[in-house]
Amino acid sequence: MKPNALPEMSMGNEKASVTVIEYASMTCSHCASFQEKTFPELKKRYIDTGKVRYIFREFPLDTLAAAAFMLARCAGEKDSSKYFAMVDTLFRQQRQWAIEKPTPPLLAIAKQAGFTEKTFDACLANQKMLDGIESIRQHAAAKFKVQSTPTFFINGTAYPGALSIEEMAKAIDPQLKG
């Protein structure tokens, strides 16, 4: 299930018996809700314990979401934990930047992550990165029939919509080995 356009953004044990892939859009309110309400428990219960490998894939529903993903990619270029920290911040502050004039709040968030105005502009002008993010989205839509966000794949089975931790546990627990 790998698109190969950009480096995979993942956390957890690569040899885990369960892999959870999330396709999300940075401007999706349901994705932000999942990130805030369910993801911390998923991480604590399954990812940090080595039971689940979690892969996050970009599925931007609009150009603003693509820009936010580009900033996360630039932030995490050398350290994927910085990518995930930026994704978390962007989701938590979604109401501040997913607006008519998003540049000032996005720049403020980027500066908190160590960007300068110059690196912010350079990141958003990176056509190769934008093409890579779009390639991930197109691959998911064509090959896996992803149509909405969030969409999860748990060991290859699709689960569209923001799942609760209980719903995730119901899908994950029977597949755990050991």
Q: Domain spans of the chain?
A: 9-175
CA distances from 21 to 13, 77, 93, 146 (A): 13, 20, 23, 12
Residue 8 has pLDDT above 90, yes or no: yes
Residue 5 has pLDDT above 90, yes or no: no
Determine the residue type at 83: Y
Give 9-175's CATH code, choosing from 3.90.1150.10, 3.40.30.10, 3.40.50.1220, 3.40.190.10: 3.40.30.10
Q: What pLDDT is stored for residue 177 in this prediction?
A: 75
pLDDT band at residue 2 under the 50/70/90 scheme: low
pLDDT band at residue 4 under the 50/70/90 scheme: low
3-state secondary structure string across 19-82: EEEEEECCCCHHHHHHHHHCHHHHHHHHHCCCCEEEEEEECCCCHHHHHHHHHHHHHCCCCHHH
CA 152 from centroid of its chain's CA atoms: 11
The residue assigned the tokens 């794949």 is: 153
Residue 176 has pLDDT above 90, yes or no: yes
Q: What is the pLDDT of residues 9-67, one digit of tens each?
A: 999 999 999 999 999 999 999 999 999 999 999 999 999 999 999 999 999 999 999 99
Q: What is the pLDDT of residues 52-92, one digit of tens each?
A: 999 999 999 999 999 999 999 999 999 999 999 999 999 99
Residue 152 has pLDDT above 90, yes or no: yes
